[in-house]
């Protein structure tokens, strides 16, 4: 009987698509932050950090080939992001407690972040079931081309943009609960 497991090449493509999806979510968060002026709260920043951690595991799969440990990093990042998102959902679930940011397609961004983080965990878990991808030797010396290269570049640009944005938002101290401006660029009289 022929194996229908995921090959290393298909795994690389699926991981590149997953990394592109994470990059898209981070891009949408940046558009909301920069274009619409919705500065992220500390929980929002932590959700992004969890997505970046998950993306690091997926990026390792794209660059060095699929390994269970890489999927483990993605799952841990996804669980962290889901837990932080759930915390924020529970803070705002009680009627009259308000919410953070406007809804997008009927749900707030932290609810979407929760659903996306769960999808990362489930997707990584499903990918772990494809044993054949791990038995094929991958060469790390090959150059990335096409979609995998675009996914890696987008992910790392957004990661560094998030680091810069967080430093600008929080300055040298704790991040404000409800940020109204970038602390690093404030001039105190």
Burial class (CB in 10 A: 0-12, 13-18, 19+), 5: middle
Residue 37 has pLDDT above 80, yes or no: yes
The reply to whether the predicted model has a pTM over 0.85 is yes
What pLDDT is recorded for position 189?
A: 46
- Residue (of 82, 109, 132, 84) closest to 28 by Cα position: 109
What pLDDT is recorded for position 136?
A: 65
Residue 1 has pLDDT above 50, yes or no: no
Tokens of 40: 């992220």
Query: What is the per-residue pLDDT across 130-158, written as a single tens digit (0 to 9) for each?
Result: 877 777 655 544 677 889 999 999 999 99
Q: What is the DSSP letter of 186?
A: -
CA 8 to centroid of chain Cα atoms = 23
- Show me where the domains of the chain are located: 8-185
User: Average model confidence (pLDDT) for the chain?
Assistant: 87
Q: For the residues 33-48, what does the mean pLDDT come to?
A: 92
CATH architecture of 8-185: Up-down Bundle (1.20)
Q: Which residues contact 170 (CB under 8 A, 6 or more apart)?
A: 45, 176, 183, 184
Nearest 5°: the CA angle 84, 19, 71 is: 70
């Amino acid at each position: 009987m022929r194996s229908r497991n995921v090959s290393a090449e298909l795994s690389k493509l699926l991981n590149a698509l997953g990394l592109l999806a994470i990059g898209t979510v981070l891009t949408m968060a940046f558009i909301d932050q920069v274009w619409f002026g919705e500065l992220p709260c500390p929980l929002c920043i932590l959700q992004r950090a969890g997505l970046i951690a998950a993306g690091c595991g997926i990026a390792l799969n794209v660059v060095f080939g699929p390994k269970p440990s890489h999927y483990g990093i993605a799952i841990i990042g996804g669980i962290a992001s889901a837990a932080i998102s759930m915390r924020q959902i529970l803070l705002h679930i009680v009627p009259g407690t308000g919410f953070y940011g406007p809804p997008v397609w009927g749900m707030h961004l932290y609810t979407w972040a929760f659903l996306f983080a769960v999808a990362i965990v489930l997707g990584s878990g499903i990918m772990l079931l494809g044993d054949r991808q791990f038995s094929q030797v991958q060469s790390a010396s090959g150059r990335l081309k096409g979609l995998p290269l675009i996914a890696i570049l987008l992910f790392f640009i957004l990661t560094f943009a998030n680091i810069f944005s967080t430093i600008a938002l929080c300055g040298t101290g704790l991040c404000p609960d409800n940020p109204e401006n970038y602390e690093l660029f404030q001039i105190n009289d």
